[in-house]
Amino acid sequence: MRAKLDQIKAEALAQIQSADALEKLNEVRVNVLGKKGALTAVLKSMKDVAPEDRPKVGQMVNETRAEIETVLDEAITKMERAKRELQMKAEVIDVTLPAKKSNMGHRHPNTIAMEEVERIFIGMGYEVVEGPEIETDYYNFEALNIPADHPAKDEQDTFYISGDILLRTQTSGTQVHVMEKGKLPIRMIAPGRVFRSDEVDATHSPSFHQIEGLVIDKHITFADLKGTLAEFAKELFGEETKVKFRPHHFNFTEPSAEMDVSCFKCGGKGCRFCKGSGWIEILGCGMVHPNVLRMSNIDPEKYSGFAFGMGLERIALLKYEIDDMRLLYENDIRFLKQF
């Protein structure tokens, strides 16, 4: 029996040694240790062994099995490691190769300016809302205290879709939509696209953008308007920025004003940028007209508010010192990349 076991072991070890692939090693496992393997056959022939010798023979078989298994496992581990090393060598990455350059897009100067304005007002607790670009005459004019035959309509000629339906000339109509919802108080800004039947030149375009603002609450005064917009100007153009309010006329506000900021280029001394005046006009504003409040079902005896509106392109042109609005719409990558 001993001789037989030694022979099985010798053959197994020889096979393991000469194996040149993992499959071959697995074959050895099956042929020697498997269910129908040589060692198992020995165990099955135990019935021919004298009962008193069985424990001893059993032990010998087990020892042989353990020895073969150890050698086999080592051989398998070694072969697997060698295989992995080969694989890694084949997959080597040359980190010194030049990288593929991916061209990342970025925000348009209009978007950068808009997000900056939004950030400032959100910081003051305002909500950002959106109104429709296609409006009825009522929202764009009538409800803003601009009646059918008012000359103010001449300055804002637009594109009519049919009868009363038009492309909005100003974001001010969004004020009406928000007031009609009936939720007070209101503190909102409404950025968006507007349209006017204008010829294209360095400062005009048939489609541009505005940012509207509206605050309605009890006891809102012109002092609130001034304080809010002065703070806004400082945040947008720098801490030293001064503001000036000039009387103006808008149908939907009374009193109305235009706000100028001190020229952030020359600090107010007068330069080419501010055309020598030291001031730059930036927005229209005023206290919401009682007629406007009443038409949207808000009692002007109980509530008051202020509103303002600014041209987004104007802010972007000023902020980035761009001297022609058309550049913002041409989508010339060489231009857009600079911001």
Is the Cβ of residue 61 or residue 190 nearer to ligand DAH in the bound state? 190
75 or 146: whose CB is closer to ligand DAH?
Answer: 146
Site for ligand DAH contains 309 (CB under 6 A): yes
Q: What is the 3-state secondary structure (H, E, C) of the chain?
A: CHHHHHHHHHHHHHHHHHCCCHHHHHHHHHHHHCCCCHHHHHHHHHHHCCHHHHHHHHHHHHHHHHHHHHHHHHHHHHHHHHHHHHHHHHCCCCCCCCCCCCCCCCCCHHHHHHHHHHHHHHHCCCEECCCCCEEEHHHHCHHHCCCCCCCHHHHCCCCEEECCEEECCCCCHHHHHHHHCCCCCEEEEEEEEEECCCCCCCCCCCEEEEEEEEEEECCCCHHHHHHHHHHHHHHHHCCCCCEEEEEEEECCEEEEEEEEEECCCCCCCCCCCCCCCCEEEEEEEEEECHHHHHHCCCCCCCCEEEEEEEEHHHHHHHHCCCCCHHHHCCCCHHHHCCC
- Based on CB atoms, which residue is closest to ligand DAH, 229 or 274? 229
Between 208 and 279, whose beta carbon lies closer to ligand DAH?
Answer: 208
CB 217 to ligand DAH: min, Å: 16
By CB under 6 A, residue 141 contacts ligand DAH:
no
| Span interacting with ligand DAH, options 19-27, 218-226, 306-314, 325-333, rule CB under 6 A | 306-314
- Residue closer to ligand DAH, measured from CB, 139 or 250: 250
126, 208, 237, 250: which one binds ligand DAH (CB under 6 A): 250
**Binding residues for ligand DAH restricted to 204-233, rule: CB under 6 A:** 212
Q: Name the closest residue to ligand DAH (Cβ).
A: 309
Instruction: Please state the closest distance from residue 254 (CB atom) to ligand DAH, in A.
Output: 10
Distance of CA 111 to the CA centre of its chain: 12
- Contact map string, positions 142 to 181, toward ligand DAH, x by CB under 6 A: ----------------------------x-x---------
Which of 38, 117, 280, 285 binds ligand DAH (CB under 6 A)? It is 285
- Which residue, 57 or 225, is less far from ligand DAH as judged by CB? 225
260 near ligand DAH (CB under 6 A): no
Q: Does 237 bind ligand DAH (CB under 6 A)?
A: no
Which of 56-64, 105-113, 176-184, 307-315 is the region at the interface with ligand DAH (rule: CB under 6 A)? Answer: 307-315
Q: Are strands 127-128 and 186-195 parallel, antiparallel or unpaired?
A: parallel
Residue 317 contacts ligand DAH per CB under 6 A: no
On whether the CB atoms of residues 8 and 41 are closer than 8 A, the answer is no
- Output 57 or 295, the one with its CB closest to ligand DAH: 295
Q: Please give the size of the binding site for ligand DAH, defined by CB under 6 A.
A: 11
Under 8 Å between Cβ of 316 and 110: yes
Q: Interface with ligand DAH by CB under 6 A: which residues?
A: 170, 172, 212, 250, 253, 284-286, 307-309
